[in-house]
Amino acid sequence: MARNLLVRCSYCGTAYHGFQIQKNGDTVAARLMEAIFQVTGEASPTIGCSRTDAGVHAREYFFNFHTGAKISSERLPAALNAHLPYDIAVTACREVPEDFHARYRAVGKEYCYFIHNSPVRDPFCESLKYHYRYPLDEKLLDHAAKWFVGTHDFSAFCSAGSSVKDTVRTITEARVSREGELVLFTVRGTGFLYNMVRIMAGTLLGVAEGKLSAQEIPDIINSCDRSRAGITAPAHGLYLNRVFYTWEEFETLPGR
Amino acid sequence: MARNLLVRCSYCGTAYHGFQIQKNGDTVAARLMEAIFQVTGEASPTIGCSRTDAGVHAREYFFNFHTGAKISSERLPAALNAHLPYDIAVTACREVPEDFHARYRAVGKEYCYFIHNSPVRDPFCESLKYHYRYPLDEKLLDHAAKWFVGTHDFSAFCSAGSSVKDTVRTITEARVSREGELVLFTVRGTGFLYNMVRIMAGTLLGVAEGKLSAQEIPDIINSCDRSRAGITAPAHGLYLNRVFYTWEEFETLPGR
């Protein structure tokens, strides 16, 4: 009898062409499938909670896969970690109902965009934070970010190449804070379009640079015109930070 | 008239065979000399405050060099940074007296050894912290570290291959603290022998594992026997953290 296992992991995206398996280029899913094969002897497809772009990181990521193998969900994380590269770490596993789907059942996600804001770069985090050398006023950016909250057609914040038809999304929380030289944009919502958080971050940087005013953001959203929003901020500042499910046992995962 | 410039930098040591120039392998000093040549047109030797091993990092490092070039010490950091790789960053520069020598004039140094203490590895810091998966009691280790303080012959904490004859050093401060999953060993002293901090860190891990008791540390020091101390902990957990000079203008450097 096949079980359906939900697995939590985190990964540094620097070396990967995103999560999702593709023909050319190493991916997180390919490494996970390889480790699952080593542990179970089965070639089980991994169903990820989200596609992430090349270079994007995940502090918390969920995927599920079906297996006939006997290994307990408690032992699986250490078993998979023994077969995974250092930059992918499995942190928890739970058996879930047969029809549980890591993407369809996700009811919300939180992304963080990390900006190292200093005149001088930090030699320790080239691929882990976006270095921005000019002063940033986090209060101004926090004020600007509040305009993202609500249910809107976010097509102005969606890169070309997306095949999604319904571009309405609900953002439940958006804030910008500072800890020393780290400026952090956190955004939580029920779903996100292709590159949406990176374009939001780029738009906030446009506000910081005076190219846009915070008050223009509602107009930019209403315009549904990608060219009016800011740049797509670089991938390496972006982290999928948390994923939410309405599943009662979910809160028993360690670290929740 | 040649000036003597003292430069502060920080670097991630992962890609380098230590600070000091060598025939085989890329070094921090080689990259700095290259950048200095680009800026000044001169092949000036860099006089470093310390040799660091391959893979060891520096959050603060000083070197000096002599130059006949006209560039101001205020402009030099940005000029050098433009010619340095991302993992080396110059943060300040001051003109110093002709005879100032970054190594001989250093009166103290502080090293930090970073341990990521968690059953599961952190995919974001493979080369930046030493991953130790078993529980560590930071209070026990802090107690053990106190035995290092004082003026001792530290030859039990010196790797073979060192040509130093005087192996007496003074440790002014040694402590172990925890912030969440990060366990930090900080040690300050007037000077350090080859691999001394890494052997101290390895000895503390030996105490954590019950291979040694904290109370044995004075005996190990007195034995002058390298084989009685712990392992040489891996290079990638070690950071040169601060360097001290008795030079009045030193305290005017940004960030002091």
Among B53, B99, B153, B166, the one annotated catalytic:
B53
Q: Which residues pair with A90 in a beta bridge?
A: A9
Low-confidence ranges of chain A (pLDDT < 70): 248-250, 256
> Which of A124, A126, A253 is the best substitution to test chain B (most B C-beta atoms within 10 A)?
A124
Residue of B nearest to A90 (CA): B120
Phi/psi at B254 (5° precision): -60, 140
Which residues, in sequence order, are CB contacts of A9 under 8 Å at separation 6+?
A32, A58, A61, A62, A63, A88, A89, A90, A91
Q: How far is the C-alpha of A206 from the C-alpha of A200, rounded, in Å?
A: 10
Q: Which residue of A has its CA nearest to B81?
A: A120
- Whether the pTM exceeds 0.95: the reply is no
Q: Is A91 on the interface with B (CB under 8 A)?
A: yes
CA atoms within 13 A of residue B164's CA, in its CB half-sphere: 18
Contact of A67 with A99, CB cutoff 8 Å: no
On whether the CB atoms of residues B62 and B93 are closer than 8 A, the answer is no
The Cα–Cα gap between A188 and A178 comes to: 18
Residues 40-69 of A with CB under 8 A from B: 57
pLDDT for B25-48, tens place per residue?
A: 999 999 999 999 999 999 999 999
pLDDT tens figures, B182-207: 999 999 999 999 999 999 999 999 99
In the numeric block, which tokens belong to residue A27?
A: 């991916």
Q: Which residues of B touch A86 (CB under 8 A)?
A: 121, 123, 126
Query: d(Cα B78, Cα B237) in Å, to the nearest integer?
Result: 28
User: What is the per-residue pLDDT across A147-169, written as a single tens digit (0 to 9) for each?
Assistant: 999 999 999 999 987 778 899 99
Give the residue on A whose Cα is nearest the Cα of B14. A124
The DSSP secondary structure of A237-253, one letter per residue, reads GEEEEEEEE--GGGGGS
| Site from B11, B16, B61, B120 to mutate, A interface, most A CB atoms within 10 angstroms | B120
CB A131 within 8 A of CB A122: yes
pLDDT digit string (tens) for A38-76?
Answer: 999 999 999 999 988 999 999 999 999 999 999 999 999
* Residue A70 C-alpha from the chain's centroid: 31
Residue written as token pair 């991630």 = B12
Q: B206-237: per-residue pLDDT in tens?
A: 999 999 999 999 999 999 999 999 999 999 99
* Cα B228 from Cα B221, distance rounded (Å): 9
Where do the H-state alpha helices sit in chain A?
28-40, 76-81, 138-145, 196-208, 217-223
CB atoms A89 and B10 under 8 Å: no
CA separation for the pair B256, A12 (Å, rounded) = 33
